[in-house]
């Protein structure tokens, strides 16, 4: 039996637990807000997490690699902006492994030897590696943006202090001048 068939009836329970694991990585005030506020506009992070966790689960059980990557990017895009360490940003993926194993144990398959458990572990390992790549690229982009903004600020300060000299596009001809 495929992983998708084994877990499809448990989507609501699994995604709720996974969303809880994701939200639990925040401080208590933020957790309370993310869980309580249901408005898409007042709580865009919570809504993004909810939507992407559901998409990620569907893609995971249906073996849709591109959709998994896209959904994971949606989650990690938010977490890269926030002050998470790489382990903090990606820790929810390790918790997903435990949630999946518990769901499979409920089907009598959680002992780690069945093909479904091995398939889930392999997919989760790949998802974790992909997540690390995505998170690293997002953080790199943020640092590039910061460096470019600092460069612009320094250039503006130099211009205001009249310390910038325009270099002409053409070089004057300094060739042979006869002064006979």
Per-residue pLDDT of 140-149, as tens digits, reads 999 999 999 9
Is the pTM here over 0.85, yes or no? no
On whether the CB atoms of residues 81 and 142 are closer than 8 A, the answer is yes
Of 122, 63, 115, which is closest to residue 97 (Cα–Cα)?
A: 122
What is the reported pLDDT for 158? 87
Indicate left, alpha or beta for 168 from its phi (over 0: left) and psi (-120 to 50: alpha): beta
CA 134 to chain centre: 6
Taking only the tens place, the pLDDT of each residue in 122-163 is 999 999 999 999 999 999 999 999 999 999 999 898 888 887
Rounding to the nearest 10 degrees, give the CA dihedral for residues 136, 142, 143, 148: 150
Contacts of 10 (CB under 8 A, 6+ apart): 103, 106
Give the C-alpha separation, 147 to 136, whole Å.
Answer: 16
Give the C-alpha separation, 95 to 5, whole Å.
Answer: 21
Radius of gyration for the alpha carbons in the chain, expressed in angstroms and rounded: 26
What is the reported pLDDT for 21? 93
In this prediction, residues 35-45 reach a mean pLDDT of: 91
Give the C-alpha separation, 79 to 136, whole Å.
Answer: 11
Taking only the tens place, the pLDDT of each residue in 70-121 is 999 999 999 999 989 999 999 999 999 899 888 888 777 655 557 778 888 8
What is the reported pLDDT for 175? 63
Q: Is 13 strand, coil or helix?
A: helix
- Give the count of beta carbons closer than 10 Å to the beta carbon of residue 159: 10
């Amino acid at each position: 039996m495929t992983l998708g068939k084994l877990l499809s009836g448990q989507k609501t329970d699994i995604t709720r637990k996974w969303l809880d694991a994701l939200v639990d990585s925040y401080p208590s005030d933020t957790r309370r807000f993310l869980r309580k506020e249901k408005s898409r506009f007042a709580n865009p992070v919570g809504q993004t997490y909810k939507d992407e966790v559901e998409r990620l689960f569907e893609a995971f059980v249906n073996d849709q690699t591109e959709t998994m990557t896209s959904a994971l990017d949606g989650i990690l895009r938010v977490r890269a902006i926030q002050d998470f360490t790489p382990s903090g940003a990606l820790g929810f993926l390790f918790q997903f492994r435990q949630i999946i194993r518990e769901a499979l144990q409920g089907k009598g398959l959680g002992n780690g030897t069945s093909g479904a458990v091995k398939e889930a572990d392999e997919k989760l390992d790949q998802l974790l590696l992909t997540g690390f790549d995505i998170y690293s690229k997002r953080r790199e982009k943020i640092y590039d943006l910061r460096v470019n903004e600092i460069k612009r600020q320094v250039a503006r300060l130099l211009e205001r202090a009249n310390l910038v000299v325009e270099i002409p596009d053409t070089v004057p001809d300094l060739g042979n001048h006869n002064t006979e």
